[in-house]
Structure 1
Amino acid sequence: MTDVVVYGATSGGVCAAVAAARAGAPVVLLEPGRHVGGMTSGGLGYTDVGDVRVVRGMAGELRTAIASWYGVAEGHFAGPEPRVAESIYLGWLDEAGVDVRFGAVLAGADVVDGVIGAVVLRDGSRVCGAVYVDASYEGDLLAAAGVPYAVGREDRSLYGERYAGRQELVPGRHTVPPLISPFAGDAAGESGGDVLPQLHDRPLAPVGAGDRGVMSYGYRVCLTQASDRVPFTRRDDYDEAHWELGRRIFDRWRRDGVDVRAGQLLGLERNLPGGKCDGNSIGPFSLSVLDGSAWSYPDAGPDERERLRLHHLHHAQDFLYFLSHDAAVPAAVRDEMLTWGYPADEFVDTDHLPHQLYVREARRMLGEYVLTEHDLLPAPRPQHDAVAMGSYHVDIREVQRTWRWVHEHPKPVGMVFTEGYLSVPVRPYPIPFRSIVPRYADCANLLVPVCLSASHVAFSSVRMEVQYQMLGHAAGLAAAQAASSGRPVQSIDVAVLQEKLRASGQVLAL
């Protein structure tokens, strides 16, 4: 039996494991895959920071380590190359003496009277600890322990949040241009029929209503223009019909006189060291998969999750091939895309595509305190038990690409819409310890720094990697304290925790 068991070697999981080990606790880090770092080493090289003044503690330590690796000033690069991020994290884990176990896929948990006794892995083995940290993007351990959770958008009435629930269908950079027909055999959108691929063909909930819709998932791809780049190729199962929506969007832009560049679709700029690029989901047609398939992912079983992961991976591969080869894509876009490819030295064991699906949100624990929009907006709400600070704007990425009838003369016309995107600035706000622990009645020895207790709106601000790093730091120190004292995690001395966090650079207030 060990003191602390961390499930999920995401950024939050690595920081939790290292922080607990540095505090003197024996730690086991269980990772179902073969890599550490989650999205930080899995394609999201361009780091969304918010207010850099609050990005300290282990998040600041990572920024310093990146600068030292490249011999530049802190913040000179927006983030590291994926392989460098993983190398730094592996060095931390080794130096701290963390027992890292790969291929450790969760099958269940032994729980008696609200206390986890062991996690059970798919190979039948059991790992026992005094305190557990669920640092997975999915919240699988908290669910296995019977801790209640929420998934997707809540109704505005639940917490009285202005920005909750289904959003208005409004124009913007992330929605499609007008008059795009959703019907496969009817480009005019008048007669109906089969709906195109890449649409979420289901009735829309009323504006403001909860619908359990989660932000779209996708893959953030690392690209390069280096001479040894790996070119975009056509998969054997590439489906021409799957990209008809893209052809219609490009045709609409052409008729409207819109000059489209590849960089507007992927953010193609050398924003990483080594002349590399973190390809992002920008605009209405992107790496994000908007057909609603992500909605079922949080509660899906292993086989269905793997099917969904491959669906998203193949979308990324085929999207890059489509942009660089399809005749309906403007020649300028195709030509620019052909100057890019996958870096030969990144993701070498996964065919140069990232090892991590970008799960923007999955489960969210219903813990001691639910962080909501009111804690962020219009002004930060004080928290006596703050253990980190968030500062990134409310960033709800597109939830679905759907369609509806629009009443145009002389008869209704079917049009495609992208729904859900929202961006609202916030000031730096404290995140309470109570939001990373379950309610005492639900579980007494679990901390959750990633799928923390927050509403959909509040979570959309917290969900950035630097904030997971800071919350993982706090969870690791709290786990070590709970293990050494024998107390439930809800009953540790938070003042002592805060003192230790401040001593290691964490900012708890401005």
Structure 2
Amino acid sequence: MDFSQLHYYEPTPKASEPLIIERDLIVYGATPAGITAAIQAKRMGMTVAIAEFGQHIGGITASGLGASDAGAKEAIGGLSREFFRELGKYYNTEEQWTFEPKAALYVFKKWIKEYEIDVFYNQHLEDVKSENFRVKEISMEDGTTYQADFFIDCSYEGDLMAKAGVSYFVGRESNATYKETYNGIQFGHPHHQFEKWISPYVHEDDPSSGVLPGVTETSQDTLGYQGQGDHRIQAYNFRICLTKNKHNRIPFPKPPSYDPERYTLLLRYIDSGVWDAMNLHTMLPNGKTDLNNYGGFSTDHIGMNYEWPDGTYQTRERIFQDHFTYNLGMLYFLANDERVPQAIRDEVSQWGLAGDEFQETGHWPHQLYIREARRMVSDYVMTDRNCLGDLSAEDSIGLASYQMDSHHCRRVAIDGRVYNEGDVEIPISPYPISYRSIRPKKNECTNLLVPVCLSSSHIAYGSIRMEPVFMILGQSAGAAAALAHQNKTTVQDVPYDKLRNVLLDYGQVLEWDDSIEDNPVLRMKSTFGKTKA
């Protein structure tokens, strides 16, 4: 199997004659948010280009996350809703909420072509030049320079935001920071926990033998207390597209640097009588699946991503390859290691990589699932009080409707037993997202919008961070940029009433009708946290 093209980052040499790209608006990142931002700005008369870090468009939506984390479907409007209708046309249905990666890519490519949006690939951000709190130009590793009146950072990491000098936070705030309930260190939640007593030690009854791979802390002094803030972020994984179709199935290959001992904890868990590592295996059209993390030990590479948000591109490449080896290695281990019970090996071996997906990268998804990285700190920080309905933003630019959902942040040893820490799953009702949460403070930058790494606490971000919501926020950011451009003003001074009217004209849903939750017919059409994102 050829994985030679599977990279987060490969250096690009300086061009002999670097390009200078001039537009009204430059969007950094061809994620779903970046695509909807560009489309909306183009609809409203701006000239637009997208600078994409990698070689692909569509982010994680076009890279395996086919079991869409839609939340309440009635809360989704605008281009986000159009995306699912376009998928409906692809599958000959009205709307399609689960989809193959290649179907999502088809829709995004169709949109890019239809709206004549230029996308420049392998654009590794190197420098940002600002003047009087305005970004003037951004330059790339290959020498390409982008000049514009406005910029929108739609990357999963917030790299443009950070280089522009905008305030941000990485990690989990304490509950005390914003008077929250579910932020910070979280013990006691039962989700995706080891159900049996599993030893974390190399030799099961001998702490002096050291801990197994994946266990990052053993000292009671470093465990912390409930609600305490820290630097940790929720785990990443790949959303893996699998199939049982023998005409399309590629058996799991042994990955580079494969080490079966990385899965000793998983083997002990299986030997204890628990086999659930592939339980969250959501069916997609045409016999494919979206494999996600489930249970105590699965595809989440817990605690191995802390360096990603602020890391260099080389650091991120190392983490990317480690996650790839870990995820593919787990599948290879379960299908081939003779210590795994034969029934499980037989079950796992029925599955394989989908041969008609990701053909450029060895049939493996090209996008790592960056569930959380940097988060801007602006004049309005979304918190769990917004999610729970205790606060409501008056300048809504779209609704979030998925549960508060943090994956585990670390795996620890407590009194000779292994525990996962950090998973939170709290139901919510749809709530508005503030316009102020996607634009920086005025004394930091006045022509930049940040709809992905928006101003939010860790736990509120766990609800907001869903791809349909990013498409909503991207479109709203594009509209705000267009209004600021038309009126020759800053993004902070865009009149909200005008922005609201534009968003409504383009089909955004800005308020939640509580009667939907009281109507059993409509309620059945909604999914409040039915799956783990």
Please report the TM-score for the alignment, with normalisation by the length of structure 2: 0.89
Maintained 8 Å contact 2:260/2:329: no
Maintained 8 Å contact 1:380/1:429: no
Matched, 1:22 2:43: yes
Match of 1:296?
307
Maintained 8 Å contact 1:381/1:430: no
2:350 & 2:360 partners in 1: Cα distance?
Answer: 23
Maintained 8 Å contact 1:149/1:365: yes
Matched, 1:282 2:294: yes
1:96 & 1:23 partners in 2: Cα distance?
Answer: 12
Among residues 378, 382, 386, which one is paired with 1:371 in the alignment?
382
Match of 1:199?
215
Residue correspondence of structure 1 range 90-489 to structure 2 within 5 A: 90-170=109-189, 172-184=190-202, 186-188=203-205, 190-201=206-217, 203-227=222-246, 228-253=248-273, 258=274, 260=275, 265-269=278-282, 271-290=283-302, 292-377=303-388, 379=389, 381-404=391-414, 406=415, 414-489=416-491
Q: What amino acid is aligned across from residue 306 of structure 1 in structure 2?
A: E
When the two structures are aligned, how many residues end up with a matched partner? 487
Q: CA RMSD in A?
A: 1.4
Q: 3-state SS of the aligned residue for 1:191?
A: strand
Q: What amino acid is aligned across from residue 125 of structure 1 in structure 2?
A: T
Q: What amino acid is aligned across from residue 287 of structure 1 in structure 2?
A: T
CA offset at residue 266 of structure 1?
4.2
Maintained 8 Å contact 1:400/1:418: yes
Q: Following TM superposition, where does structure 1 have runs of at least 4 consecutive aligned residues deviating by more than 4 angstroms?
A: none
Q: What amino acid is aligned across from residue 229 of structure 2 in structure 1?
A: G
1:191 & 1:96 partners in 2: Cα distance?
Answer: 61
2:482 & 2:191 partners in 1: Cα distance?
Answer: 46
2:295 & 2:235 partners in 1: Cα distance?
Answer: 13
Maintained 8 Å contact 2:257/2:325: no
Maintained 8 Å contact 1:169/1:417: no
Matched, 1:54 2:66: no
For structure 1, the residue ranges without an aligned partner over 5 or more in a row are 407-413
Deviates most, 133-142 or 496-505:
496-505
Match of 1:409?
none
2:280 & 2:339 partners in 1: Cα distance?
Answer: 21
CA offset at residue 236 of structure 1?
4.4
For structure 2, the residue ranges without an aligned partner over 5 or more in a row are 1-21, 513-533
Match of 2:25?
4
CA offset at residue 364 of structure 1?
0.3
1:372 & 1:57 partners in 2: Cα distance?
Answer: 25
CA offset at residue 360 of structure 1?
0.3
Q: What amino acid is aligned across from residue 419 of structure 2 in structure 1?
A: F
2:330 & 2:191 partners in 1: Cα distance?
Answer: 19
1:266 & 1:233 partners in 2: Cα distance?
Answer: 21
CA offset at residue 183 of structure 1?
1.5
CA offset at residue 95 of structure 1?
1.1
CA offset at residue 332 of structure 1?
2.3
CA offset at residue 432 of structure 1?
1.0
1:58-96 per-position Cα deviation (integer Å, ceiling 9, x unaligned): 110001000111101324xx3221111111111111111
Residue correspondence of structure 1 range 33-52 to structure 2 within 5 A: 33-52=54-73
Q: 3-state SS of the aligned residue for 1:382?
A: coil
Maintained 8 Å contact 1:35/1:86: no
Q: What amino acid is aligned across from residue 275 of structure 1 in structure 2?
A: G
Maintained 8 Å contact 1:364/1:452: yes
Q: 3-state SS of the aligned residue for 1:65?
A: helix
Maintained 8 Å contact 1:21/1:96: yes
Please report the TM-score for the alignment, with normalisation by the length of structure 1: 0.93
Match of 2:10?
none
Q: What amino acid is aligned across from residue 426 of structure 1 in structure 2?
A: I
Q: 3-state SS of the aligned residue for 1:3?
A: strand
Deviates most, 44-53 or 244-253:
244-253
1:73 & 1:125 partners in 2: Cα distance?
Answer: 42
